[in-house]
Structure 1
Amino acid sequence: MTKKNKFQSFVSELPQNLFSGFVVSLIALPLGLGLALASGAPPISGIIAAIIGGSVVALIGGSQVTITGPGNGLVVVILGAITTLGAGDMQQGFLYTLAAIVLSGAIMVILGFLRMGSLGDFFPASAIQGMLAAIGIGIFAKQFHVMLGNTNAKGSIIELMLQVPEGIINYTTTNSASVFWAGMIGIISLLIMVFYSKIRNKYFQLIPAPMWIVVLCIGLYYYFDFFSASEYPIAKSLLINLPDDVLASFAFPDFGKVNDLEFISAVISITLIASIESLLSIKAVDKLDPLKRRSNINKDIRALGFATIISGFLGGLNVVTVIARSSVNVNNNGSNRSANFFHASFLVVFILLFATELRKIPLSALAAILVYTGYKLASPENIQKVFKIGKEQLAIFLITLFTTIATNLITGIAVGILATFVAHVIISKDIFLFITNLFKPNVLMFKEDGKYYVSVKNFSSFLNYTKLKTKLDQIPESCDAIIDFSLSDFVDHSVLENLNDYAESFKRKGGFFEIVGLDNHNAGSEHPFALRKNAGFHIPSPTTTTINLTKRQKALQNVAKELHWEYEPNRNVESLIELPDFGYFKTKKIKKVSNILSNDRCELFDVVFHEGELFAKQIVKTTMLYIDIEAPIPAFTLDKEGIFEYIYHFAGFKDINIDEHPDFSKRFYLSGKDTEAIKNLFSNELILFFESNQYYHIEANNHGLLIIGRERLAGIKEIKALVDYGTRLRPLLCNQYETVAPLL
C-alpha cells in the first residue's frame, strides 16, 4: 500500500517537476556553456556534463531535489589541467584532461562504496571558505577580461588581477567596434545579473537572469540581421563556437599521460574539488528541502562518480551537485529526482533544435554571468562573516585564499588544514591535548528516559568530528538529544557550525537538540559558532560589563523570565553556605557554581565538584535544585531502590518502610535518623506525589531540600521539569510542618 501511495505521489507531482526542470534548464544552458569556456574546454562539454549528470544521478542518486552538472569550483582546476597537460596545445590538453576526469569519477565511485562521504566533514569550515573564495577570484580574474571583449588575456590569477585596470583602460580606448560592442554586451549582462533580484515584477521574474541575457543577445543579433542597415558588429571569433553536428562531435579521452606526475596531480585535484563541492552542496540543499529529507551522501557520491565517467568518455566535464541550480529547483516546487531528469531532457532539446541560435551569443555575455558568480564566491560579505566568527578564522581564511591563488588548490587546502591545526594549538596552548587524544574514543552515547545523551571528552574539532557525527546520525531526528561538552577542553568552529545544522534538522522533524557544557568555555567572539576553550574554574570579575552567554545560557535567561525568577551566570562558591551541610557533599569539594535561577525560596544551579584526590580525582558537573522549606522538617534521604540500598546499608543507614504503602517501600530507598518523624512527614499525599513523578535523588536537612537528577548537566527541558517538580513538592512539605513539628 505504501509503494502504491509513493507511486501515486510521484505521478501527481510530475507536472510541477516538469516545470521546475524547464526553469532550471534555462539557467543550466548558459551556465554550462560559460563554465566550459571558462575552463578552456569546448562549450558543448559543459552541456554534456549537465545532460549526463541529470540523467544518471536522477536514476541512481541518493538525493531528491539536487541538480547536477558542471560546477564553479572546478573551473580553475580544469583550466590548469588543460594548460599544463597540453603544454600549450589546448585541444590535446583537453583530451588528456578528459582522461583525468574519467579516473576522478572512478575514484568517486570507490569512495562512495567505501562510505567515505563523511570525509567532507574533515575539512575546516574557514579553510573551505578560503578555497572557495580563491576559486571565485580565479574565475573573476580570467572572465573579467573576456567580459570586456579580450579573449587573449593570459597569465596566472595574480597577473590577471593586476591586469584588470589596464584591461578597463584598453577597453575605453579601443578602436575595434567588435571589441566595443562585445564589451558593452558584457557590461549590460553584468548589470542584469546584479539588478535582477531588485526588479520585483512577477512577470519579469518568470525568466531567470542568465536566460534574459541569452534572449537579449539573440534578439540583438536578429535586430541587426532584419531591421538594421548595418551588419552585426561582433566578430564571429567573439561568439560561441558550437560544432555543426553536435551528435558527431564527441571528444574521447587520451590516457597517454596516465603515469605522469602532472596527470596524477590533476586527477587528485579534480577529485578533491568535485567531492568537496558536491558534499557542501548536498548538505546545503538538504536544508532547503521542504520535506526535510536527508540525502544518502554515499549513494549520491557513487552516482556522481558514474555520471562523471560517462561524461568524460563523451567529452564532458565533471558532474557535481550544484547549489545555485538546486536552489532554483526547490524554489520552483521541484519535489523529487524527476526534476533533475527533466532539466537534462530540456537541455537535449535546446542543443538539438536551437544550436544555431546559441551560436549568436557573445562570449562576453557568458563571461559576465561568471564574473558575477566569481564575485559572489569571494565577496567582502563572506570575509566579514568569517571575521565575525573570530580573528583566527579570518587568518585561516586568508592563509588558505592566498596560498591557493599563489600555488594550487591541493596546496591551498592542505595549508589551510595545517593553519587551522596551528591556530588551535596556539589558542589552546596545549599541543599534547590534540596529539595524545586524537585516536582515543572521545564520544559516549547512551539513552535514558527516552532521551539520547552524548558526552564528548578531551577535544572536538575537524580532526575527530566524524566520531561525533557517527553517533549523532544514529539518533532519530524526532527524538530529544543532549550533547554535553562539559568534559571537553576545546571545541572548534567547524564542529559548532555542523551541530547547528543538526539542531535545525531536529527542530524540523519535531525533535529537540540541545548543546550543554559550554558555559564555562571562553569564546573568541560573540558569534554562536566561535570556537570555545575551557576556562577552568575562573569566575568573571563582578566589574565585567559584558558576558558572552552561550545559547544554553540565553535559553536559561528566557526560562527565568517565564518563571519571573532571576538569572545569574556565575556566583562565588562561598555564597552557597548550605550545600556542604548535605550528606551528598560530605566527601565532595565544590569548585564552581553557575547558571543560577532563583526566587525567594528556590535556587536551581549548575555545580562543579570533584571526588577523590590525585590520580583518583574525578570532576563532576551536574544540575540541582535547592528549596528553602521554612520549617525544621526531619533530615532524610530519598532515592530509587537499587544499588544505593547496599551502599547506605554498608554505611550504617537503614531503609525506612512505610507499612501502609508497601509498593512505595519497594520502589524507593528512604533513610534518616528520626524514623518516626520521617514516617509522619510522608503523608499519603506526599507519597502519591513521589510515586507519580520522575525519580530524583532528594536530601533534606534543617536548611531545606536538595533535589538532584543525574550527575550531568541538565538540558533546558530537564531544567523546566526539575523546577516544576520542586515548586509542586515544596507546598506539600510545608503543609506537613504542623504535623511534624511536635515530634522534632
Structure 2
Amino acid sequence: MGRKNNIKTFLGELPQNIFAGFVVSLIALPLGFGLALASGAPPMSGIIAAIVGGSVVAILGGSNVTITGPGNGLVVVILAAITTLGAGDMQQGFLYTLAAIVVSGVIMIILGFLRLGSLGDFFPSSAIQGMLAAIGIGIFAKQIHVMFGNLDAKGSIIDLLLQVPEGIVNFTKTDSQSVFYAGMVGVISLLIMIFYSKIRNKYFQLIPAPMWIVVLSVGMYYYFDMVSPSTYPIDKSLLINLPDNVLSSFAFPDFGKVYDFEFINAVIAITLIASIESLLSIKAVDKLDPLKRRSNVNKDIRALGLATVISGFLGGLNVVTVIARSSVNVNNKGSNRSANFFHASFLVAFILLFASELRKIPLPALAAILVYTGYKLASPENIKKVFKIGKEQLIIFLITLFTTITTNLITGILVGIFSTFIIHVIINKSFMFFIRNLLKPNVLMFTEDGKYYVSVENFSSFLNYTRLKSKLNQIPEHEDAIVDFSLCDFVDHSIMENMNNYIETFKRKGGYFEIIGLDGYKTGSEHPFALRKNIPTNLIDKSKKTVLTKRQKSVSKISKELGWSYKTTPKEVTEIPEFGYFKTRQINKVSNILSNENCALFDVEFSEGELIAKQIIKATMFYISIDEKVPEFTLDREGIFEYIYHFAGFKDIDIEDHPDFSRRFYLSGKNQFDIRSFFTDELILFFESNNYYHIEGSKNGLLIIGKERLAGVKEIKQLANFGIRLKDVIHKEEPIAVL
C-alpha cells in the first residue's frame, strides 16, 4: 500500500518537477558553457557534465532536491590542471585532465563506500570561506578581461587583477568595432545579473537572468541579420565555438601521465574541491527542503563519483552538487530527484534543437555571468560576516585567501588548516592541551527521561568534530536533545556553526536541540558562532560587558516572568557548603543566579577528588530559605541514592501511615523525631505526586538537585516550578504563578 502511495505521489508531482527541471535548465545551459570556457575546456564539456550528472545522480543519488553539474569551485583547479599537464598545449592538457577527472571520480566512489562523507568536517569553516573567496577572485580576475572582449589576457591571478584598470581603459579607447560591441554585450549582461533580482515583475522573473542574457544576445544577432542594414559586428572568434555535429565531438581521456607528480597533484586538488563543494551544497540544500528530509551523503558521493567517471570518459567536467541551481529547483517546487533528471533532458533537447542559435552567443556574455558569480563568492559582505564572528576568524580567512591566490588550492587549504590550529594553540596558550586530548574519547551520549543528553569534554574543534557528529546523527530529529559543553575548555567556531545547523534541523523536524554549558566563557565577539574559551573565575574582567549565551537569555526571560532578579557573574554563596552534599566536594564558582527573597536557582561548579582523581562537575540547583530551623536530612529515590550520597551511618526513616512513601523514598538523617515532625502529610503528598529530586535539609534551608549536570531551559523551568510549589507547601502560603 505504501509503495502505491509513493507512486501516486510521484506521478502527482511530476508536472511541477518537469517545470522545475525546465527552469533550472535555462540557468544550467549558459552556466555550463561559461564554466567550461573559464576552465580552459571546450564549451560542450560543461553541458556533458550537467547531462550525465543530472541523469546518473537522479537515479542513484541520496539527496532529494539537489541539482548536479559543473561547479564554480573547480574552474580554477581545472584551468590549472589543463595548463600544467598540457605544458602549453591546451588541447592535450584537456585530455590529460579528463584522465585526472576520471581518477577523481573513482576516488569519490571509494570515499562513498568507506562512508567518508564526513571528511568535509575536518576543514575549518573560516578556511573554507577563504578558499571559496580565493576561487571567486580567480574567476573574476580571468573573466572580467573576457567580459571586455579581451581573450589574450595572461598571467597569475594577481597579475590579471592588476591589469583590470588598464583593460577598462583599453576597452573604452578601442578602435575595434568587434571588441567594442562584444564588450558592451558583456557590460549589459553584467548589469542584467546585478539588477535582475530588483525587478519584481512576475513575467520578467519567469526567465532566469542567465537565460535573459542568452535570449538578448541571440536576439541581437538576428537583429543585425534580418533588420539592420549593417553586418553583425562581433567577430566569430568572440562567439561560442560549438562543433558542427555535437554528437560526434566527444573527447576521450589520455592516461599517459597517470604516474607524474603533476597528474597526482591535479587528482588530489580536483577530488578535494569537488568533495568540499558538494558536501557544503548538500548540507545547504537540505535546509531548503520543504519536506525536511536529510540527504544520504555517502550515497550521494558515490553517485557523484560514478557520474564524474562517465562524464570524464565522454569529455565532460566533474559532476558536483551545485547550490545556486538547487535553490532555483526548490523555489520552483521541485520535490524529488526527477527534477534533476528533467533538467538534464531539457539540456539534451536544447543542444540538439538549438545548436545553431547557441553558436551566436558572445563569449563576453557568458563571462559576465561568471564575473558576477566570482564577485558573489568573494563579496565584501562575506568578509564582514567573518569579521563579525571574530578577529581570529578574519585572520584565518585572509591567510587562506592570500595563500590560495599566490600558490594553489591545496596549499591554500592546508595552510588554512594549519593557521587555524596555531591560532587555537595561541588562544589556549598550550600546544600540549590539544596533543594530549586529541585521541581521547571526549563525547558521551545517554538518554534521561526520554531526552538525549550529550556531554563533551576537553575541547571540541574541527580536529575532533566527527566524534560529536556521529553521536548527534544517531538522535532522531523529532526528539529532545541537550548538548553540554560545560566540561569543555575550548569550543571553536566550526563547532558553533554546526551546532546552529542542528538547532535549525531539529526545529524543522519538530524536535528540540539545546546547547548548554557555555555560560561565562570568553568569546571574541557577540556573534553566536564565535569560538568559546573557558576562563577561571578569578580572571574574569567584571568591568566588561557580558555577552549572554542563548541559554542565559532564556533564563533571564524566566526571571522576568517570575519577577525575580538574575545575575550571570559568578559569586560566593555561603549557604551551600552547609549541606552534607558539599562536605566532600569543593565549590569553585556559582553563576547564573535567579533569585528572590527566599529562593534561588543557580549553576554551581564543584570538584570531586584530588590530583589525578579530581573531576570537575557542573550542576543546576534550587535553594529554599526557611525561617524556622530545618532538621538535617537527605531525601532521595529508593535504590539510587548511593550515586550522589556520600556520608554514612544513617538509616532509612519510615513515616508511619505512609507506607508507599517509605517504599518509594530513601529518607535519612540523625534526628529522626525532628525529621518525622517536619514531614507533614501535606509535604509527603507533594513528594509522592511530583517528579523525583535529590533534596537535602540543613539549618534554615533546603537544597534541591535534579541531575549532576547543568539543566537545559525546559529542565530549569521544571526545577523552578517544583521548588516554588515546594516552598509554598512548607510555608503554607497561597500558590503563586509559576512557569
TM-score interval, smaller chain: over 0.9
- Where in structure 2 are the equivalents of 1:199-214 lying within 5 Å? 199-214=199-214
The Cα shift of 1:304 comes to 0.1
**Corresponding residue for 1:742?**
none
**RMSD, matched Cα:** 1.5
Q: Which residue of 2 aligns with 1:549?
A: 548
Higher mean C-alpha displacement, 593-602 vs 364-373: 593-602
Aligned to 2:40: 40
Q: Secondary structure at the match of 2:145?
A: helix
Give the Cα–Cα distance (whole angstroms) in 2 for the partners of residues 546 and 654 of structure 1: 50
Q: Which residue of 1 aligns with 2:561?
A: 562
Equivalent residue for 1:379? Answer: 379
| TM superposition shift of 1:577 | 1.9
Q: Residue deviations 1:356-381, cap 9 Å, x none?
A: 11111100000000000000000111
Residues 62-81 of structure 1: matches in 2 within 5 Å? 62-81=62-81
Shift of residue 621, structure 1, vs aligned partner: 0.9
Deviation at 1:551, TM superposition (A): 1.8
Moved more, 305-314 or 563-572: 563-572
Residue from 698, 713, 726 that aligns with 1:701: 698
User: Is the aligned partner of 1:613 residue 2:573?
Assistant: no
Task: Give the direction of change, closer, same or farther, for the CA distance of 1:27–1:285 in structure 2 (3 Å limit).
Answer: same
| 1:404 equivalent in structure 2 | 404
Q: Shift of the alpha carbon at 1:649? A: 10
- Do structure 1's residue 635 and structure 2's residue 635 form an aligned pair? no
Cα deviation digits, residues 275-304 of structure 1 (max 9, x gap): 000000000001111111110000000000
Query: How far apart, CA to CA, are the structure 2 residues paired with 1:650 and 1:571?
Result: 28
What does residue 17 of structure 2 align with?
17
How far the C-alpha of 1:673 sits from its partner, in A, is 2.9
Shift of 1:541: 4.7
Query: Which residue matches 1:601?
Result: 598
Partner of 1:163: 163
| CA positional deviation for 1:554 | 1.5
Aligned 1:379-528 pairs, distance under 5 A: 379-528=379-528
- Tell me which of 584, 587, 590 is aligned to 2:587: 590
Query: Post-superposition shift, 1:150?
Result: 0.5
Match of 2:547, as an amino acid? N
Which residue of structure 2 aligns with residue 733 of structure 1?
Answer: 730
1:713 aligns with 2:710: yes
Q: SS at 1:420's partner residue?
A: helix
Aligned-pair CA distance for 1:539: 6.3
Distance 1:142 1:647 in 2: 67
Q: CA deviation at 1:650?
A: 7.3
What's 1:741 paired with?
A: none
Higher mean Cα deviation, 639-648 or 599-608?
A: 639-648
Deviation at 1:702, TM superposition (A): 2.5
Aligned to 1:149: 149
TM-score (norm 1): 0.97
* Residue identity opposite 1:302 in structure 2: R
Shift of 1:351: 0.4
Deviation at 1:479, TM superposition (A): 1.1
1:135 aligns with 2:135: yes
**More deviation, 280-289/549-558:** 549-558
How do 1:175-194 residues align onto structure 2 when only pairs under 5 Å count? 175-194=175-194
1:255-274: CA deviation from partner (whole Å, max 9, x where unpaired): 11111111111111101100
Shift in Å, 1:636: 2.2
In the alignment, does 2:670 pair up with 1:667? no
2:605 & 2:484 partners in 1: Cα distance?
A: 14
Answer yes or no: is the 8 Å Cα contact 1:99–1:255 preserved in 2: yes
Q: CA deviation at 1:598?
A: 1.1
Cα separation, 2, equivalents of 1:545 and 1:670: 46
Post-superposition offset of 1:32 = 0.4
User: What is the total number of aligned residue pairs between the two structures?
Assistant: 734
> How far did residue 524 of structure 1 move?
1.2
Q: Given that residues 539 and 570 in structure 1 are in contact (C-alpha distance below 8 angstroms), is that contact kept between their aligned partners in structure 2? A: no
Q: Does 1:682 align with 2:679?
A: yes
Aligned to 1:230: 230
Compared CA separation, residues 587 and 224, structure 1 to 2 (3 A) = same
Aligned counterparts of 2:455 and 2:212: Cα–Cα separation in 1: 53
- Is the contact between residue 578 and residue 703 of structure 1 (CA under 8 Å) also seen in structure 2? no
| 8 Å CA contact retained: 2:189, 2:365 | yes
Kindly provide the amino acid, as one letter, of the partner of residue 23 in structure 1: V
1:48-67 equivalent positions in 2, closer than 5 A = 48-67=48-67
Q: Helix, strand or coil for the counterpart of 1:214?
A: helix
Q: Find the residue that maps to 2:538 and give its secondary structure.
A: coil
Q: Is the CA contact (8 Å cut-off) linking 2:83 and 2:90 kept in structure 1?
A: yes
State the alpha-carbon separation in 2 of the partners of residues 271 and 707 from structure 1. 56
How far has the Cα of 1:109 moved from its partner?
A: 0.2
1:645–1:655 contact (8 Å) kept in structure 2: no
State the one-letter code of the partner of 1:2: G
Report the 3-state secondary structure (helix = DSSP H, G, I; strand = E; otherwise coil) of the residue aligned with 2:631: coil
Paired AA for residue 668 in structure 2 = S
Structure 1 residue 589: Cα displacement: 1.9
Alignment deviations for residues 144-171 of structure 1 (CA, whole Å, 9 cap, x no partner)? 0000001111111111111101100110
Tell me the amino acid that sits aligned with residue 359 of structure 1.
R
Q: How far 1:613 moved relative to its partner?
A: 2.5
Q: Counterpart in 2 of 1:622?
A: 619
1:736 to 1:137, Cα distance in 2 relative to 1, 3 A: closer
Q: Distance in 1 between matches of 2:669 and 2:63?
A: 61
> Deviation string for 1:603-648 (max 9, x for gaps)?
1000111223333322221110001233334332111111436997
Once the two structures are TM-superposed, the CA of residue 222 in structure 1 deviates from its matched residue by 0.8
Whole-angstrom CA distance in 2 between matches of 1:647 and 1:366? 70
TM-aligned CA distance change 1:384 to 1:736, over 3 Å? closer
Q: 1:647 to 1:171 in 2, by over 3 A?
A: closer
How far apart, in 2, do the equivalents of 1:545 and 1:155 lie?
Answer: 50
Instruction: Tell whether 2:580 aligns with 1:572.
Output: no
Distance change in 2, residues 1:648/1:152 (3 Å): closer
Gaps in structure 2 of 5+ consecutive residues: 735-739
The 3 A distance-change label for structure 1 pair 646 and 299 is closer
Secondary structure of the 2:682 match is helix
1:654 and 2:651 correspond: yes
Higher mean alpha-carbon deviation, 164-173 vs 698-707, is at 698-707
Distance 1:660 1:4, change over 3 A: farther
**How far apart are 1:665 and its partner, in Å?**
1.2
How far apart are the structure 2 equivalents of 1:155 and 1:79? 13
Inter-CA distance 736–529: structure 2 relative to 1 (3 Å threshold): closer
Task: Give the letter for the 1:316 counterpart.
Answer: G
Q: For residue 501 of structure 1, what is the amino acid of its counterpart?
A: N
Partner of 1:275: 275
2-side partners of 1:416 and 1:39: how far apart? 24
Amino acid at match of 1:496: M
Residues 655-664 or 481-490, more deviating: 655-664
Quote the Cα distance in structure 2 between the aligned partners of 1:272 and 1:691.
60
SS of residue matched to 2:482 = strand
SS at match of 2:83: helix
Q: Is the 2:389–2:525 contact (alpha carbons within 8 Å) kept by the matching residues of 1?
A: yes
- Separation (CA, whole Å) in 2 of partners of 1:123 and 1:550: 25
Cα deviations by residue, 1:519-545 (Å, 9 ceiling, x for unpaired): 132111111111111102236455x25
Counterpart residue type for residue 281 of structure 1? S
Tell me the residue number matched to 2:115: 115
SS of 1:635's partner is: strand
